[in-house]
Amino acid sequence: MDCCVIPLRHGGLSLVQTTDFFYPLVEDPYMMGRIACANVLSDLYAMGITECDNMLMLLSVSQKMNDKDRERVMPLMIRGFRDAAEEGGTSVTGGQTVINPWIIVGGVGSVVCQPNEFIMPDGAVPGDVLVLTKPLGTQVAVNAHQWLDQPERWNKIKLVVTKDEVKEAYQEAMFSMATLNRTAAGLMHKFQAHAATDVTGFGLLGHANNLAAQQRNEVAFVIHNLPILAKMAAVSKACGNLFNLVQGTSAETSGGLLVCLPREQAAKFCSEMKSQSSGPGGQGAAGGAWIIGIVEKGDRRARIIDKPRIIEVPPRGSQAANQDNSSTSPSPSPNLL
């Protein structure tokens, strides 16, 4: 599971706890702190938990940094982490800082819950619909942005994407990764979600397989649609087998929630995600949720069909995003619902 759930001795309560950390992947230290915090909290949100009682921050300072860089970068990273925690209604009360060859940032999230405050990720049934709450392609966007200064790598993708499109995708990926999945966690209760997980390092298919394997019922997940940051599917294809984005194994960082919802609730979940994401502090034009597949009777595995529908998700603020405002959650095709 995404979190450990530890029954406590008192009053039918449980301690739900998670930890996560990784290396920096964006250039902005403040945004990197926000992304790290969002990534930790996502494990709680994947179980429908909307409140976190306490956070700790884990920080490794690189011994290769000089004093000037250290004094500029690390406070920004800490501030970003704390600001994201505050946005999530919690606070950072401590942690651990060490010297290391590499910068590492992460944390711990803890909450004491009653049974009705979390959703165990094992209740999917045949007929459920799979919904994803953030677009895929963050790893591809981050790498493509790094390649802008590496001619030998840029030459591999320059025929399918412009430099401006790469910069826009990178900005969109950064804001997406820094966005909390808290809204989706709350809506999981409202729309009777049966199971969920967050999509991170194993990619969409990896986490879908992990979730399918945990189900009490004999079910399989079939994925038909892939919402992907604009142009990143083409970039991935141009790179051969480096990312395997459309195959579902490209790593994501602080990705969306993959949620199993009753068939009659899925479209309403997506609609409410869209309406809540477009307000102040929301996910903007790229926010919302997408119906990506179905749950059927099967062998507790997940698969992506041979030719999935690619949904190009435009960057927020773009003309395409504004035109797409009313259709971020596409109408389910007949073969899904």
Per residue in 268-289, pLDDT (tens digit) is 999 999 998 754 444 444 568 9
What pLDDT is stored for residue 322 in this prediction? 59
User: Do strands 104-113 and 92-100 pair parallel, antiparallel, or not at all (unpaired)?
Assistant: unpaired
CA–CA gap between residue 111 and residue 109 (Å, rounded) = 7
Q: Contact 236/256 with Cβ under 8 angstroms?
A: no
**53 class by beta-carbon count within 10 Å (0-12 exposed, 13-18 middle, 19+ buried):** middle
Question: With b meaning 16 or more CB within 10 Å and e meaning fewer, what string describes 281-295?
Answer: ebbbbbbbbbbbbbb
What pLDDT is stored for residue 320 in this prediction? 65
Q: DSSP letters along 71-90, please? A: HHHHHHHHHHHHHHHHHTT-
Query: How many CB atoms neighbour CB 168 within 10 A?
Result: 21
- Residues 288-331: tens digit of each pLDDT: 899 999 999 999 999 999 999 999 999 986 666 655 554 444 44
What pLDDT is stored for residue 336 in this prediction? 54
Give pLDDT < 50 ranges for the chain: 279-285, 326-335
Instruction: Tell me how far apart the terminal alpha carbons of the chain are, to the nearest angstrom.
Output: 28
Domains and CATH numbers, the chain: 4-113 (3.30.1330.10), 128-316 (3.90.650.10)
What pLDDT is stored for residue 181 in this prediction? 97
59 by DSSP, 3-state: which? strand
